[in-house]
Amino acid sequence: MLNRTESNHGMWSSRLMFILAAAGSAVGLGNIWRFPYLAGENGGGVFVLAYLVCIGFIGLPILISEILLGRAGRQSPIGAMVALADSVGVSRRWSVIGWMGALAGFMILSFYGVIAGWAMAYVPSTLSGTFVSISAIEAERSFEAFISDPWQVVGWQSLFMLLTIFIAARGVGRGLETTVRYLMPALFGLLILLLVYSAVTTGEFIAGLTFLFQPDFSRFNTDSLITAMGQAFFTLSLGMGAIMAYGAYMPKGSSIVGTATTIALLDTTVALMSGMVIFPLVFANGLESSAGPGLMFITLPIAFGQMAGGQIFGTLFFVLVTFAAITSSISLLEPAVAWVVEKTKLGRARSAMLVGVIAWALGLGSAFSFNIGSDWTIANGMTFFDTMDYVSNNILLPLGGILIAVFASWRLGQDQLLNEMSEDRAWIPVWRFLTRFLAPAGVLIVFVVTIF
């Protein structure tokens, strides 16, 4: 059963395709929407430094573990954990990693699809000139008017989910791989174009860089650290099995450490570049860097609306965000889709539809959180949207991450480890120290502090 060279779901055609797919999962709203506004709210450079440390010492070792378990198991995360647990003679309860992950995937997709829908909606509105010379008040009003219309929000969320389901239904090769093959290079190209635009036209590029890279230690607090650690998980798609599912389709014979490092570097580069695109625009237009989640939907349209070429570059920006979101949402669906394919006779397309429709329905709750359902609060005054975000990012992902690190470093058999890491032997002691002790301890700290 184990040590198979192929998965029944299909395979990435090369190591590069695995890198594009995993980077496609990692690079998303987390990098372009969430990272800049978190950096803005948490004092810039200090936050960025804490985030980089978390990526290197916690994120990267867990990323390696997830790819490793996925490739060793060659199935959906639930199936892989059952097979791996059996192979080393430990309890099948370890498959809780897969179950929790699938649940987290549904919950993340619930709010992710809504924000991605907003980004998609901003493509035609920016293109048609809605934001040209718009004032701050008008930009805010137009955003408020948009999100308080349930039909619009649900309409765009549904369109986004439909696209996600369509790609997932076509399978690993024709769906997932074809999508990342074209969208990822387009995304990098657009980002570079926007970076040049922001650097050349704003005159505030240096101010943006200073904000992002010069740590002001007086603004450092434990909250920034916790936020930075949570962001490291979310941005690398860790702790829910997305990367494990993708790892199952990774060809044998390529280094997992090298591949994971490349993915983490690409993801971090995109986050930093997004910050370098956004903050010069913010500073050049005298806007607030700490605008919060509205940074992308209120602040940026104002900035683009003031600038030469802003209509075109603003449109390209929202196209970029949409692409980044799609290559992530397909990975959020994949663990559950692969599991349904394994357990039923439905086949790929129907399994994708079934799972996708459930995710879409859960997303309605998040879509209504800004309008008709704004007072359906669950606990502590949090809306459905807030609850999905909070429970998945602050509880399920860190918990999943610890379990993955612990299983990979304490439970997996030595022979399996050597088999998967034969290209990375020299790194095994370092990886093992980080996943056995440092990463779980770090995650445990975040976990405890966030909850209490």
What is the Cα–Cα distance from 20 to 259, expressed in whole angstroms? 10
Question: Where does 128-177 have alpha helices with state H?
Answer: 136-147, 150-169, 171
Q: Write the DSSP string, 280-310.
A: HHHHHTT--TT-GGGGTTTHHHHHHHHSTTH
Q: Which is nearer to ligand PHE, 79 or 241 (CB)?
A: 241
CA-based nearest residue to 192, from 132, 258, 276, 289: 276
Residue 28 binds to ligand PHE (criterion: CB under 6 A): yes
Q: Which is nearer to ligand PHE, 329 or 383 (CB)?
A: 329
Out of 9, 11, 21, 30, the only residue in the binding site for ligand PHE (CB under 6 A) is 30
Least Å distance, CB 204 to ligand PHE, is 26
Secondary structure (3-state) at 370: coil
Out of 58, 78, 191, 240, the only residue in the binding site for ligand PHE (CB under 6 A) is 240
Q: Which is nearer to ligand PHE, 212 or 242 (CB)?
A: 242
What is the Cα–Cα distance from 215 to 82, expressed in whole angstroms? 45
Residue 416 binds to ligand PHE (criterion: CB under 6 A): no
* Stretch near ligand PHE under the rule CB under 6 A, chosen from 87-95, 170-178, 183-191, 237-245: 237-245
Out of 18, 23, 31, 302, the only residue in the binding site for ligand PHE (CB under 6 A) is 31
How many residues form the binding site for ligand PHE (CB under 6 A)? 15
Question: Where does 369-413 have alpha helices with state H?
Answer: 384-390, 397-406
Least Å distance, CB 309 to ligand PHE, is 27
Least Å distance, CB 237 to ligand PHE, is 4
Q: Which is nearer to ligand PHE, 226 or 307 (CB)?
A: 226
* Stretch near ligand PHE under the rule CB under 6 A, chosen from 86-94, 119-127, 229-237, 411-419: 229-237
What is the Cα–Cα distance from 353 to 320, expressed in whole angstroms? 26
Hey, CA dihedral for 134, 137, 139, 145, is it positive or negative? negative
CA-based nearest residue to 25, from 199, 241, 203: 241
* Stretch near ligand PHE under the rule CB under 6 A, chosen from 204-212, 233-241, 302-310, 346-354: 233-241
What is the Cα–Cα distance from 74 to 65, expressed in whole angstroms? 14
What is the Cα–Cα distance from 431 to 429, expressed in whole angstroms? 6
Taking CA atoms, 230 is separated from 57, 347, 399, 418, 431, in Å, by 13, 35, 11, 31, 21
Out of 29, 183, 295, 300, the only residue in the binding site for ligand PHE (CB under 6 A) is 29
Least Å distance, CB 29 to ligand PHE, is 4
* Stretch near ligand PHE under the rule CB under 6 A, chosen from 22-30, 57-65, 155-163, 214-222: 22-30
What is the Cα–Cα distance from 232 to 313, expressed in whole angstroms? 28
Question: Where does 309-383 have alpha helices with state H?
Answer: 310-343, 347-368
Least Å distance, CB 263 to ligand PHE, is 11
Residue 235 binds to ligand PHE (criterion: CB under 6 A): yes
Out of 20, 67, 161, 242, the only residue in the binding site for ligand PHE (CB under 6 A) is 242
Q: Give residue 324's identity as a one-letter amino acid code.
A: A
Residues 332-351 that bind ligand PHE (CB under 6 A): 332
Residue 268 binds to ligand PHE (criterion: CB under 6 A): no
Out of 17, 26, 134, 270, the only residue in the binding site for ligand PHE (CB under 6 A) is 26
Q: Which is nearer to ligand PHE, 242 or 405 (CB)?
A: 242
What is the Cα–Cα distance from 149 to 121, expressed in whole angstroms? 13
Out of 110, 198, 237, 289, the only residue in the binding site for ligand PHE (CB under 6 A) is 237
Q: Could you tell me how many residues make up the chain?
A: 452
Q: Write the DSSP string, 24-46.
A: HHHSSHIIIIIHHHHHHHTTTHH
From residue 75 to residue 114, the character string flagging contacts with ligand PHE as x (rule: CB under 6 A) and all else as - is ---------------------------------x------
| Angle between helical axes of 310-343 and 15-26 (0-180°, round to 10) | 110
Q: Write the DSSP string, 241-284.
A: SHHHHHHTTSPSSS-HHHHHHHHHHHHHHHHHHHHHHHHHHHHH
Q: Which is nearer to ligand PHE, 26 or 50 (CB)?
A: 26
Residue 328 binds to ligand PHE (criterion: CB under 6 A): yes
Q: Which is nearer to ligand PHE, 235 or 299 (CB)?
A: 235
* Stretch near ligand PHE under the rule CB under 6 A, chosen from 47-55, 235-243, 349-357, 377-385: 235-243
Least Å distance, CB 215 to ligand PHE, is 23
Check residue 395 and report its DSSP letter.
I
Residues in contact with ligand PHE by the rule CB under 6 A:
25-26, 28-31, 108, 234-235, 237, 240, 242, 328, 331-332
